[in-house]
Amino acid sequence: MGKLARSATRSLGRGGTAIPGLVAERFDPDVVRSLAAPLESVVLVTGTNGKTTTARLLAEILSADGRPVVHNRAGSNLMRGIAASLLEAVGPLGRLPPDSVAVFETDEATIPSAAAAHPPRALVITNLMRDQLDRYGEIEAVRERWVDAIRRLDQGTVLVLNADDPSVATLAEVAPGPVVLYGIEDATAALPLGSDEPQVADALWDPQSGIDFVYDRRFYAHLGHWQCPGVGRRRPLPDVRGVGIELDPHGVVFGIDCGSHAGDGAEEHYGARLSLPGLYNVYNALAAFTAARVLEVAPDLAAATLGATRAAFGRGEELVLDGHPVRILLGKNPAGTNEALRTLRPTRGDAPLPLHLLVLLNDDIADGTDISWIWDTDWESLAPHVASVVVGGSRAADMALRLGYAGFPEPRLAPDDEHDIDAALRGAIEALPSGEGLVVLPTYTALLEVRGRLAQWAGLRAIGDGA
């Protein structure tokens, strides 16, 4: 019945990312456990930002290693989405290809259920930042859920943690099994100490001692080389380290060091590149590379595959429509949106290009009904580089007000209905000067709608069709 539901949604032009799972769960609430039982290994990837890209990078690495991979590539990360990805992978009799491995992007609150369905070989946690406060609560509440889930993990589960996020790195203290850490060592990638560049720091103090974190290096938000003076808690040395980072608007070149910290000759170094811009994608690549090592993929193959992986839908994805390049950057919380905006600002020595933006703000349940986070996002830093902006979505007027205060050119509402994302997209593209591009900055549900529309116009696959 789940497979029939998938066929029906596809025939109607829908992606079918969750409905098949919902249907199957109606007949068998334990469908994920039963379908996943034959899997050789399961990797769960969670965190506030970066989990879709990290999971995609890891799935591509495992595919390049010749392993059949089950992956919720469309980002539907509740149990229904995991069920839908399994339904897509199984044959008519409900069987998976032999030796299949699974990479499941998992919602922050879904980790306990996903881990109970199939003990994971690895649990990857990217970062912990403020997001959807109406749904999750403050980050301390999310971390406590993770602590409870980690304590229940099998001793064979490897915890893959971001050493540069103190809220994540300190989860190692409750891990029942092995822990592997990754982080960035490159001092040139850090913000200058005392920098006045606005940053949203969501983890300010150590949850045990209450002492404020102090940084030797800070890369963005609250990620960096941290310590708690006086209590001896500090960033642990990571097992996998990003070095030699060179950023440009179209990607990143960097190195990966792993192995010994002691200089005993066991150090390994691999060169890597990404077609995804931004320092935050270096973190995603390091997380995927580290998880691949846990699964015993050859490190040189893992590093080489990073450069061949395309952006996940809406995470820096680019396409051409009517001669105009269109780039989509998801923005759903202050820290993530700030890093997306950072990739749009001209780098030193580059001639600034006029930016034409379409900003789409929704307040559905999946977006978070509280949109006050837009006032904590550093729109001001991008304002001098923007030539035009169109706003749309259910909270278009709120977005227009925020951008007006940030000093943007007067935002234009969608011509017919300010809530109509289709009208906003058409209006933004029609107003573009010849040959110039559009950057679309949507929240999550707006991303699904605008990406589906662009897929129709540009002849792309829909989300959930292998996009």
Active-site residues: which are they?
Answer: 370
What is the distance, to the nearest Å, from the Cα of residue 405 to the centroid of all Cα atoms in its chain? 28
Can you tell me the distance from the alpha carbon of 429 to that of 171, in angstroms, rounded to the nearest whole number? 46
From the list 7, 38, 32, the residue with the least C-alpha distance to 83 is 32
Q: Are 358 and 441 in contact (CB under 8 A)?
A: yes
Q: Are 159 and 172 in contact (CB under 8 A)?
A: yes
The DSSP string of 97-130 is PTT-EEEEE--TTTHHHHHHHS--SEEEE-----
Q: How many residues are recorded in the chain? A: 467
Can you tell me the distance from the alpha carbon of 102 to that of 284, in angstroms, rounded to the nearest whole number? 18
C-beta atoms surrounding 364 within 10 Å? 14
Amino acid 294 reads: V
The DSSP string of 72-101 is -TT---SHHHHHHHHHHHS-TTS-PPTT-E
The Cα angle at residue 405 between residues 378 and 281, in degrees rounded to 5: 20
Burial 21-43 (b: 16+ CB within 10 A, else e): bbbbbeeeeebbeebbeebebbb
Can you tell me the distance from the alpha carbon of 346 to that of 336, in angstroms, rounded to the nearest whole number? 18
Can you tell me the distance from the alpha carbon of 337 to that of 403, in angstroms, rounded to the nearest whole number? 14
Phi, psi of 460 (to 5 degrees): -90, 165
Q: Are 53 and 315 in contact (CB under 8 A)?
A: yes
Phi, psi of 423 (to 5 degrees): -65, -40
User: Tokens representing 182?
Assistant: 């990754």
C-beta atoms surrounding 247 within 10 Å? 20
Can you tell me the distance from the alpha carbon of 78 to that of 22, in angstroms, rounded to the nearest whole number? 10
From the list 208, 303, 213, the residue with the least C-alpha distance to 252 is 303
User: Tokens representing 295?
Assistant: 């699964």
